[in-house]
Structure 1
Amino acid sequence: MRLASKKTTRLRVFLALVVAFVLPSLVLGQTYNWLDKSASTPTALADALLSTAPILVIGAFFGWPYVLVSAVAWALLDQTNRHYPWTAAATGLMAGGAVAAFNFRDGKFSDAPIAYPLCIGLGLVTGLCVWIIAYGRQSRLPEPTAPVKPARPLLL
């Protein structure tokens, strides 16, 4: 088993992939809702918070590449035993840039010119969050101790 695979569990990888889906979906969906011209009513913030489920669906249309890139990057990094924060950050930056370049070619997100900084920053944050959940803070865990075998009596 590779060292990187020993430093995590399947549950941590699964939770990291869930975060890779939920975080970009929520941020992109909420940003779209806040930038929407028709949502400038006094209750817009309350409406945005109450419509989280539809926002996840809207954000999923733009956020699924983050999940795909996270899964592929984890598989490749697991093969090469290179799970470092800088590789997670670089992967997130590339994913965010690719999402912005493909989905928002004109650089506008809901008629505001924030598509590239929003997607690239979101990719960076998502990549680092995935790394922290899957591999981070391992130095704070106690070192596993080898099981002590009971002494066998000497047979004559």
Structure 2
Amino acid sequence: MAYIRPFLRSPLAATPEPPYQARANTVEHTARGKDMQPMNRHHQIAVQLKPSTFQVLKQYSKTTGRSYATVITEALELLATSTGETSQPLVKTSQPLVEASQPLIYAKLDTEDQTLWKKRVRQLREGGKSYAAISKILFQESQLSGQDGLPLSPSTIRSICSL
């Protein structure tokens, strides 16, 4: 008598089982039940460290016998729970492209203003600037944006040049 795994149907069965039933006995799928605890999830992050900081963390990982991921996790947890004695934030953020204020929305401009902007875009394009660079320049200098308040897309700049 041939041994058949309990979660597979016999090859003589008229209809095959759906793939999700064939995998129902794996840990990955049983932990998703409504009465079960949710599975632990791990997230991968990318960080840029100074070479000296990297060496310190790597050396600490070796001397303590912990994995590098564990050391990074502990450092992040320590950073999140520490209350600095200074009023400065623990994490530095990048600077915004421009100071927050009302953007100048290209689609809502009247025809005369759009003509002036088209002229400016064409001048920048003749100067050898890429479509993305033009978009960034216009946003930084004049806050010219799309309806979403973000810089115009390079394809919009390209269509402005072609009109």
Q: TM-score, normalised by structure 2?
A: 0.22
Higher relative contact order (CA 8 A, sep 6+): 1
